[in-house]
Amino acid sequence: MKLRQILAIFLVICLLTPMTAVFAAEETADRRAVIGADLSDEQIESVYKTFGIKRGDIKELRITNADERRYLEGHVDSSKIGTRSISCVYIELQKDGKGTDVQTSNINWCTAKMYISALATAGITDAKIIVTAPFEVSGTAALAGIYQAYEDMSGKEIDAVAKEVGTEELTVTAKLAEQLGGYDITELVNELKLILDDVRNMTDEELRQEILKLAEQFNVKLTDSQIDQLIKLCRSLEKLNPEQLKEKVEGIQNSLNKLAEAKEKISGISAKLADIFKSIGDFFKRLFGGAKTA
């Protein structure tokens, strides 16, 4: 009887042991950690655990709330930005064509898909990225950290307009997802990017009808206000080179597909874990229920 109890408890402990998803640290100089300036040493240590590396292993940059506000003010409510710099980023550049891989932890407003798409708009592809914080935050400010790290590694500044539009895209898709009950509208936005050459020749009313057609294809209902937000975003996207943007969007499709596949696998694993926990619960009921009546 004791052996059965020990084995059951051991199994529960194994299942409950937290697993942090991290990237394997590769030997490369093209890596950076960007840490929110308002974190304590203890919080920074917890962030590095999420990164899967030790502090000091790679070059560390700091980002302040003022840095974040330079990009975000005018795009997102001040409450989302806050008054402290909390979001942290690990970024590792990859070879051309490797794609962009984003993982998030304690980020409750922006999804990995949103980051990948917005970064492509800003001109950043082929990178491994972790966005995290010691507690839950919106995650919008992390984009400023990614920009900072990318420029530090590449030695050149990202086009200012591209950065601005990438930031606008991230905040608009996050806002719409919140309004639509969690529905990620990134795919619809990417479809608009692919036809940007046509979009720039459309009137606002023609563009509205095009957005409604796409919304129907993606089985999502949009209000007039939400369509207005997408029209405004399209007009901002028009400032970019349509052919280069189309190339970037096509280049991230593989990354987005992998993300969707990973999400399906996680859903399947979660369902299996639920079954396992139910089995364990039933086991304990039988085990201790039987012991009580003995």
Give dist(CA 136, CA 107) in Å, integer: 6
Give dist(CA 93, CA 127) in Å, integer: 4
Structure tokens at 220: 């999502």
Model pLDDT, residue 281: 54
What are the C-alpha distances in Å from 88 to residues 48, 149, 166, 174, 201? 9, 11, 18, 18, 40
Model pLDDT, residue 18: 44
Model pLDDT, residue 77: 79
Helices 242-293 + 112-122 axis angle, to 10: 160
Give dist(CA 44, CA 180) in Å, integer: 34
Model pLDDT, residue 276: 56
The tens-digit pLDDT sequence of the chain (294 residues) is 554 554 444 444 444 444 444 444 444 459 999 999 999 999 999 999 999 999 999 999 999 999 888 888 888 777 778 889 999 999 999 999 999 999 999 999 999 999 999 999 999 999 999 999 999 999 988 999 999 999 999 999 999 999 999 999 999 999 999 999 989 999 999 999 999 999 999 999 999 999 999 999 999 999 999 999 999 999 999 999 999 999 999 989 888 877 656 544 443 344 444 455 455 556 545 555 554 433
Per DSSP, the residues of 53-114 read S-TTSSEEEEE-HHHHHHHHTTTS-HHHH-SS---EEEEEE--TTS--EEEEEEE-S--HHH
Domain ranges in the chain are 19-272
Q: What is the pTM of this model?
A: 0.78
Contact predicate 38/65, CB 8 Å: yes
Model pLDDT, residue 291: 45
Per DSSP, the residues of 24-39 read PPPS-S-EEEEEETT-
